[in-house]
Every structure is written in C-alpha cells, then in structure tokens.
Amino acid sequence: MPSTHLPSVELHLHIEGTLEPELIFELAARNKVTLPYRDIADLKSRYEFTDLQSFLTLYYANMAVLQTAQDFADLTRAYLRRASAAGVRHAEIFLDPQAHTVRGVSLAACVNGVAGALRDSQAQFGLSSALIITFLRDQPAAEALDTLTQLIAMNAPIIGIGLDSAEVGHPPIDFVEVFDLARAHGLKCVAHAGEEGPPEYVWQALQLLQVSRVDHGIRSLEDPLLVDYLVQNAIPLTVCPLSNVRLRVVDTLADHPLQAMLERGLLVTINSDDPAYFGGYLDDTFAAITRTFNLTVDQLAVLARNGVRAAFIDDDRRAELL
Ligand code: ADE
Ligand code: ZN
C-alpha cells in the first residue's frame, strides 16, 4: 500500500510558472533573446510581489524566452523531473496559449511541445499527466473562443479548460460561451475563482461555467452559504498556500485559512501553482504546511486522498493512487 501522506497528485500547476531563473538564462542564450536582467541574482531580486498583478507582469515578461516546441518540451520535462522527485504520481498541468500566440509563437508549437513531453511522463518520470488549457480572463472572451475552436479543430490532446490571469474585474460570466463549447466537446471545466476576487465569482464559476473544481477558492470562506454548497456537493478546491503568501492574499502562512477549510469539511487539495516563483514545489509546500500547522498524519492523509479524489482520472488509476 502506498504511503498515505505522500503528496501524490498535483492539480493546479502552471507550466510557465515552473520556468526557473537558470532555464530563463539558458533559453535566452539559445534563442538570442536579450534579457533585461544582469544575471540570475538580479532576476531573483525581482521575485518580491505585492499582489497577483505584480507577479503576472514578471511571469508574462519571462515567457519571452519560450519560442519553439523544443523550449516548451524542455520546460515540461524539467517540471516532470522535479515533480517526480517530489513524489508526485499524477499531474494535471495548465498551459496559457494566448500568452504565447500573442508573441508570435504558434498554437501548435506551445501545445505540441508541452503535450509531447507529457506523453512520455509515465515512462520517463513515473507519473501520469494531462493537459488543461487555461484562458486569460483579462483578454477578450472572443479570443479565448477562437483559441478553443482552433484547439478542437487540431484535435489537441487536452482534457479540459480553465480560466486564469488577473481576476478582479474579469468575472466568469464573461466566458459562458467558451465553457459551453468546451463542455459540448466533453472537456472538463475548472476556473480560478476566489483568489483575489469575491465569493460571487466562485458562485459564477460553479453556476454559469459549471466547473467541477475551483482553483484557489479561498475567499469562499467569506460566504457561509457558498461553503455549505461546496461541502454538500464535494467540489474540490485546488489550494496553493505558498502562492497565497507570496501574492499577499494572506500575510503569512500561519494566517492561511487551510485549517479552517479542513474543519469546515471542504474538499481541499494542496498544489504549488507557480513553484519557480513562489518558493517551492509540492514537497516543499507539504513540508511548510505540515510545520506551520502541525498537521497530523490523518490530516495529511486526507489532503493526499482529496487530491486523488479530485483528479480527472478513471477509476482504475484512482484505485492505483489511493
Ligand atoms: N497565472 C499563473 N498563476 C496564476 C495565479 N496564481 N492566479 C491567476 N493566474 C495565474
Ligand atoms: Zn493558478
């Protein structure tokens, strides 16, 4: 029987958020991109964020080094290697194609680069994986719809869609048509909601986009009726504690409502979001929350099992992971 407290499943991971400073410099040299940083130390000195937008600005700027399918495959393999070392046995990975196509990278290059590396994840790194396309909510919904239409036409190997980027002022309701199209094609639906945005955005994600998981969702705690709904319907929340600290959603890890969420019976899963920027991969995240909250073996087992319950996998794979 597998050890129950292993952080075995990762469900909220932006592949572009695994772009480590060393790889940024390596890809810049390969692609002859001039970086606005003197060296790695200069780049790392900028990893102090005041909110989500201050992070997103750097996150999108650094993507300039990702140009070819090979770059995307190398990035993905580096993540898979690190995730495997962290004990991850199944990962569902987000990719933001619009952040690349806007720079002139083809949709095929970014999607096939990531998907090609994921295809070999079990054989090469011992973990199963899947790809979820995330749309930028601060860009027009028509652009997301166009991107999804192209992905469907090219029969892209994706299991679902999500919604990310700057949340406040960009409510889920704007993306109903995109999510309707995804569901009509059998794709799973998730959305970032309740990270910086209000509980109302979580309601919209659930009721209008019909998501089966909510990414972050920690501001749901402000609405007791919403918490009841999430508990009663066993809707998973992909919580990212280190991200919440680094993006100042909470002041310190000790202030994070993780314990309260567990006590309310929410189906919480633990994830790393953008580990190259937020100070840790999934093993680091589990170590930090275990230390800070004195989590018991039983609580760790619940978190690990929740990840397996919330994953978009078939029953056989679920049984293997449990
Ligand atoms: N894109 C990458 N990380 C994100 C986050 N934490 N919230 C919204 N969009 C993101
Ligand atoms: Zn995220």
> What stretches of 29-125 adopt beta strand conformation (E)?
90-95
Tokens linked to 296 = 């018991």
Does the active-site annotation cover 196?
no
Contacts of 37 (CB under 8 A, 6+ apart): 43, 46
Q: Give residue 153 CA to ligand 2 midpoint distance, Å.
A: 26
Is there a domain that residue 4 lies in? no
Q: Which of 20, 195, 222, 263 is catalytic?
A: 195
Q: Is the pLDDT of residue 2 over 60?
A: no
Answer for the pair 100, 63: CB distance below 8 angstroms, yes or no.
yes
Q: What is the pLDDT of residues 40-83, one digit of tens each?
A: 999 999 999 999 999 999 999 999 999 999 999 999 999 999 99
Is there a domain that residue 270 lies in? yes
Q: What is the pLDDT of residues 226-281, one digit of tens each?
A: 999 999 999 999 999 999 999 999 999 999 999 999 999 999 999 999 999 999 99
Instruction: Annotate 122-166 with DSSP letters as a single string.
Output: HHHHS-EEEEEEEEETTS-HHHHHHHHHHHHHTT----EEEEES-
Contacts of 54 (CB under 8 A, 6+ apart): none
Q: Which residues line ligand 1 (CB under 6 A)?
A: 14, 17, 52, 164-165, 192, 195, 243, 273-274
ipTM for this model: 0.99
Q: Binding residue per annotation — 14?
A: yes
Which residue range(s) make up the domain with 78?
A: 9-321
User: Near ion ligand 2, which residues have CB within 5 Å?
Assistant: 273
Of 138, 274, 278, best ligand 1 pocket probe by most atoms within 8 Å of the beta carbon: 274
Cα separation, 259 vs 248, whole angstroms: 18
- % of the chain exceeding 70 in pLDDT: 98
pLDDT at 1: 30
Cα-based distances in Å from 74 to 13, 79, 95, 99, 157: 16, 9, 14, 18, 18
Cα separation, 242 vs 214, whole angstroms: 17
* Structural domains of the chain, count: 1
Domain at 184, CATH number: 3.20.20.140
